[in-house]
Amino acid sequence: MTSIFHRSPGASLPTAIGGQGVWLEASNGRRYLDASGGAAVSALGHGHPRVIEAIREQASKMAFAHTAFFTNEPSEQLAEFLANRAPINAPRVMFCSGGSEATEAALKLARAYHVARGEPSRSVFISRNQSYHGATIGALSVSGNPGRRAPYLDILAPCRFIDPCYAYRHQYADETPEAYGRRAADKLEAEILAAGPENVAAFIAEPVVGATLGAVTAAPGYFQRISEICRTYGVLFIADEVMCGMGRTGSLFAVEQENVRPDIITMAKGLGGGYQPIGAVLASGEVYDAIVSGPGYFEHGHTYIGHATACAAALAVQRTIEEESLLEHILELHPVLVDLLHQALGPTGMIGEIRGRGLLIGVELVRDTATKTPFPPEMKLAAAIKKAAMAQDLIVYPNSGCVDGRSGDHILIAPPYIAERSD
Ligand code: PLP
């Protein structure tokens, strides 16, 4: 008998009691290889002394100082660290407690920007099918994940969706990757025109799709064209880096590899690497200045914005990633892991595609590799694989794909950056 309301009520879960490096320990005496870092959260693995010390030191100074009254050193330093590295013009950094909160703030910032500039008709958001931007009502409204939306459809805000850039399923056989990227991006222009450009506030996309599609990267030139379209129509481009950011793809920000500068970037998981719940939103100077010189105030805020202990932990995580050259390590490990996955899983005959970037790798499973036919959703294959893997002390992150057959089941492999070939 338990009083806790688990996310899967009734599930019988092992109790996590410790962790070291890439391993998690449970009270059942078993050690689990955390090959998905939970859900692409863990960056430095468990028990990193530098992060633990940063948390201990900051927590011993004070519990909490509300940001309506005070700023604090760790949040100022972390903001500086991120602003100095982000591919965004004159960035300003706002903190929050996780990915969904970051999405909420990004949507409201986009709206506040247009209102401040005297364009209040801009209230339409455009997102992509098979995307995930969070579980809160605003974030879920712009998430193209039919399963997660279904129970709440009546209370979601309106949003328009275009197809994602998903070459495995959408690129024509006689089409170059560049031509496909252009075709996929041009869908945004068509959608903006259909909505009326004067009504569109922002386009939100994951530079590497995480939870819903399993590490799908965009075709070459896709995001450059997206960026160009957004600029042409005065639409803000929000890059959701909650899962793919903070080093996960081998560059600190995933959009660095796309050569674009979004107006707003969100991040969370890898920011604190799981040591503390923390997220952040970076807004361009243009967005910030419009709000400051307009209403002068961004009508938004959560109690735990810029929590000093969370920021101290995140700062220690980020400094460690940089000082220990972990981005280079991630880039070295990528082909090794992809090769090992091909060797190990290829013979099953079920591997549609192994894809991704850095240590964000997706394995799409299909019933027929020639026709790319997914397994029937009622088989719940990904969930069964998660269970079978766990029975062998391995954590991988499952997703059952789309009920409408537009993608197959997939497994996400996203180990901590400190993983070694031997792991
Ligand atoms: N955005 C993306 C791209 C995500 O992958 C997630 C979570 O998986 C979120 C937002 C929501 O983050 P959180 O679960 O921290 O609220």
Give the CATH number of domain 54-323. 3.40.640.10
189 lines ligand 1 (CB under 6 A): no
CA-closest candidate to residue 234, choices 260, 197, 265: 197
Reported as a single tens digit per residue, the pLDDT across 208-220 is 999 888 999 999 9
| Measured distance CA(306)–CA(65) in Å, rounded | 9
> 128, 130, 132, 397: which to mutate for ligand 1, most atoms within 8 A of CB?
132
Name the strand (E) or helix (H) holding 394.
strand 394-395
Contact indicator for 55, 227 with CB cutoff of 8 Å: no
| Measured distance CA(47)–CA(67) in Å, rounded | 29
Question: Measured between alpha carbons, how far is residue 337 from residues 78, 101, 237 in Å?
Answer: 31, 32, 32
Give the CATH number of domain 16-47+325-413. 3.90.1150.10
CA-closest candidate to residue 122, choices 325, 273, 263: 263
CATH 3.40.640.10 in the chain: give the residue spans: 54-323
pTM above 0.95, yes or no: yes
What value of ipTM does the predicted structure carry? 0.99
Q: Tell me the two tokens of residue 409.
A: 């089941």
Q: Tell me the two tokens of residue 7.
A: 């996310």
Residue-wise pLDDT tens for the chain (423 aa)?
Answer: 689 888 888 888 999 999 999 999 999 999 999 999 999 999 999 999 999 999 999 999 999 999 999 999 999 999 999 999 999 999 999 999 999 999 999 999 999 999 999 999 999 999 999 999 999 999 999 999 988 999 999 999 999 999 999 999 999 999 999 999 999 999 999 999 999 999 999 999 999 999 888 999 999 999 999 999 999 999 999 999 999 999 999 999 999 999 999 999 999 999 999 999 999 999 999 999 999 999 999 999 999 999 999 999 999 999 999 999 999 999 999 999 999 999 999 999 999 999 999 999 999 999 999 999 999 988 999 999 999 999 999 999 998 866 566 778 999 999 999 999 999
> 97, 145, 238, 269: which to mutate for ligand 1, most atoms within 8 A of CB?
269
Full DSSP string of 239-268 = EEETTTTTTTTSSSSGGGGGT---SEEEE-
CA of 283 to the centre of ligand 1 (A): 18
| Measured distance CA(140)–CA(152) in Å, rounded | 9
CA-closest candidate to residue 414, choices 317, 274, 222, 281: 274
36 lines ligand 1 (CB under 6 A): no
Question: Measured between alpha carbons, how far is residue 159 from residues 126, 127, 273, 397 in Å?
Answer: 6, 7, 31, 28
CATH 3.90.1150.10 in the chain: give the residue spans: 16-47+325-413
